[in-house]
Amino acid sequence: MKLKGSQILLKMLKEEGVDTIFGYPGGAVIDIYDALMEDKDLNHILVRHEQGAIHAADGYARSSGKVGVCLVTSGPGATNTVTGIASAYMDSIPVVVFTGQVPTQLIGNDAFQEVDIVGITRSCTKHNYLVNNVDDLARIIKEAFHIARSGRPGPVLVDLPKDVVNALTQFRMPGEVRLKSYNPTYKPNIKQLRKVVDLIKKAEKPVIFSGGGVSLSNAHKELTELAQKLRTPVTSTLMGLGGFPGTEPLWLGMLGMHGTFRANMAVSECDLLVSVGVRFDDRVTGKIDEFAPHAKIIQIDIDPTSIQKNIPVHVPVVGDCKISLGLLNELLDKEDLEDMGEKRKPWLQQIEQWRKTTPLAYTQSDVIKPQYVIETLYDLTEGEAVIVTEVGQNQMWSAQYYHVKEPGHFITSGGLGAMGFGLPAAIGAQVGAPGKLVVDIAGDGSIQMNIQELATAVQYKLPVKAIILNNGFLGMVRQWQELFYDRRYSWTKFSHAPDFVKLAQAYGATGLRATKPEEVSEVLSNGIKTEGPVVMDFIVEPEESVYPMVPAGAPIKKMLLV
C-alpha cells in the first residue's frame, strides 16, 4: 500500500491511540491539514496561538492519562511552542509535538519560515527528530510515542520537512520499538527495598514525601496503602498534589516555599524521609544544608539521573513508583507491624499540635480575600473539580486551599512556572475529561497571556470555567517587592486592565463579577451551573500575600507566617 507522508502520519497517530490533535495550520503543514479533512477519526482543535496548542496538549495528557499531540507549522509556529515544551519537560508530561519544516533541500539556507527547531529544543525535549526520509517516518512516529510515554515521561518533537510529508512510499507497519541506548528500569532492586523496610521499622518520626512521579505512574493507591499501613504522615510537592487524598487525616499539606507550617516542620524534624517520585527542586528544599537534617533519606524514582542530583540520599531505589511501592507493601505485609499505631502516637500528636497552633489562615473582611474564593469553590464542588492554575499567587492559594483528592485533578506548570499556562491547559483538560467540571484559577496578569483561547473554548463548546483573582497587580512579584524592596512596586501594578466581563462576552462566553464577599458564593454557583465557557472576575484584596513563605536561601523551617 503506497501512502503519502501526511497519510502515514495520520495512520500512525491512530495506531498509537490518538483521538485529538491541538494545532494551528501553516504553509509547511498544509498537506497534513488537507489529509485531515478526509479523516473522520481524528478530532482537531483549532487553537488561536501555538503556545495555546502545546499547553492544551499538556493539559489533555494530564487529565486523560494519554499522550498529548500538538501540530504546528515551521518557523514562528514551531518557536511559539518552545515555552510549552519546556514546561512539559520540567513536569515530565508525555506530549508529541509535530512541527512543519521547509523542504530538505532548503534546510540551512535561511529559507522563509525556517528555524532549527531540533537544535532549539534539544535541551527541553526528552528526544527529538528531523525526518529526512519518508521511509523512516512510521518508525520515528512509533519511537516518539514510546519515548514520550515510557520511563520518566516527557515531550518528544518530530520535525517534518514539507517534501517528506508529500513524498509517496510503500507503507509498512513498523515492528516493536527497540532502542539499545534507552531501556528504563521499571522493577527495583529487591535488596534496596529490604533496606527501606529496615529503616522504616527503626524510624520513630517518619514522613512520606510524594511527588509528580506518583501521579504519572498511577501509584496513588499504593502510596495511600503504605501511609495507612505505617501510620505515617504524607506531604508532597506542588506537582504531587492529588497523589495522596487531601482529606486524609495523615495529610500534612504541601511542602516548601509556600508549604504548610506542619509539613515544613515535620520534614525538618523527621528521622526518616521516604521520598517517592520527587526530584528535590529548590522550591521544596530551601537551604539544602538544612533540609531534613536529622533524617535518613530514601529516594524512589524511575529516573536514575534524578537520584542524588540535588540531595544526598541513604537508600536510592531506581524503579517505577507504582511497581516499587507495590513490592514495598508486599515486603511490609510480611513484617510484624501491629504496634505501629502506638509507636506513631507521639509523632502524630506533635504534628497535630503544629496544625492547631499554626494552621493556614486568613481574615475575611469587607474586601474579598482570594483564599475565601478558593475555599468557597472547594465547598461548592465538594473537591470534585479538575483544578487548573495559572502561575503566581493564584497557583499557591489553589494548592493551599483546594484539597485535591486524586491524581489528574490538579494541573499546573510547576517546574517552569509558565504564565499563560492555565486557560489553554484547562481547554485540553476538558477535552481529555469531557464529563468533569474543569476550573482555571487565574490571576489578572497571567490570564491575559493566552486569553485569546477563550475563542477556542467557545468554538468547541468546552464548558471551562475561569476564575480570575483580580488584584490589579502581578501579585507574586509585588509580594516580594513588599517584603524585600520596601514596597517599591516597580512595574507590577496594572494601571490599565480590560473589563473581563465584557471581554468574555465579546468572545461569546459568559462573564460574571463579584466585588463583595457576600457575592462570592452566588457568582461561583451561577458560573458552575451556566452552560459553556464562563469567566468569573473577583475583585480581591490588592495587597494580600501568600503565607507561609520561606525566603529564598533560607531553611524551610524558617517561615514568614504573616
Known catalytic residues? Answer: 50, 112-113, 162, 476
Contacting residues for 133 by C-beta, under 8 A, at least 6 apart: 164
Q: Which three cell numbers stand for residue 451?
A: 486569553
Please report how the helices 393-401 and 475-484 are oriented relative to each other, as an axis angle in degrees rounded to 10: 100
Closest CA to 8 of 156, 148, 155, 139: 139
Specify the pairing of strand 168-170 against strand 2-4.
antiparallel
* Cα–Cα distance, 325 to 419 (Å, whole number): 34
Cα–Cα distance for residue pair 66/153, rounded to 1 Å: 11
Query: Facing residues of 535 across strands?
Result: 466, 511
* Residue 218: φ, ψ to 5°: 60, 40
Whether the Cβ atoms of residue 128 and residue 103 lie closer than 8 Å to each other: no
Peptide linkage before 542 cis (omega within 30 of 0)? no
Helices in 92-219 by DSSP H: which ranges?
Answer: 117-120, 137-149, 162-166, 190-202, 212-216
Interior CA angle at 479 toward 476 and 483, to 5°?
145
Helix (H) or strand (E) segment spanning residue 465: strand 465-470
CA pair distance 269, 207, nearest whole angstrom: 10
Half-sphere exposure of 424 (CA within 13 A, CB side): 32
DSSP track, 39-73: -SS-EEEE-SSHHHHHHHHHHHHHHHSS-EEEEE-
Place of cell 493556614: 360
Estimate the crossing angle of helix 5-15 against helix 30-38, to 10 degrees: 60
> What are the two backbone dihedrals, phi and then psi, of residue 98, each rounded to the nearest 5 degrees?
-105, 120
